[in-house]
Amino acid sequence: MKRILVVDDQAYVREILCELLANEPGLAVAGAGADGREAVALADRLHPDVVVMDLKMPVMNGVDAAATILARHPATRVIALTVAPHGQLAAQARAAGIGACVPKSVPYTALLDAVRAA
C-alpha cells in the first residue's frame, strides 16, 4: 500500500485529489496540506511514500518544500502538479529532485500513472 501526502493551496483541488487517490486500489491518503511548510511538517510526521504537491503555493513553494523533504527523507518520491510543466519553476523542481511534473491540464490518469510509477 503506497501512502500519499497531497499538498495544494486550493482546497477543492486538495479535496478532490484526496478523494480520487483514496479510492484507488493499493493507494492510501496519509494526509493533506495547504502549503510547503505544512508539507514538510506532515512529511516529517507521516513518512509518506509519495508526496503529490503543487509548485506554486504560499508560505513555501513546492520546490523548496520538495528539496527539504527529499533531504530529510530520501526514499520519499515527490510528484509536482503544475500549470506550467515546461516553465522555470518546473525546471527548478526537476533540479531539486522531483521525479515527475504532471500538468494540471491532463487527465487524472496521468497523475495516477505517475503515482503508481513512483
Examine the pLDDT at 107 and tell me if it is beyond 80.
Answer: yes
- Tell me the pLDDT tens digit for each residue of 62-105: 999 999 999 999 999 999 988 766 777 777 878 888 888 888 88
Give the up-direction half-sphere exposure of residue 95: CA atoms within 13 A in the CB hemisphere: 9
Contact by Cβ (8 Å): 76, 51: yes
Q: Give residue 75's pLDDT.
A: 96
Considering the four listed CATH numbers 3.90.1150.10, 3.30.930.10, 3.40.50.2300, 2.30.30.90, the one that applies to the domain covering 2-117 is 3.40.50.2300
- List the one residue out of 18, 14, 20 whose CA is nearest residue 30: 18
Q: What is the pLDDT of residue 85?
A: 64
Least confident of 56-65, 80-89, 108-117: 80-89
Residue type, 13: V
pLDDT tens profile 7-53: 999 999 999 999 999 999 999 999 999 999 999 999 999 999 999 99
For cell 509548485, what's the residue? 55
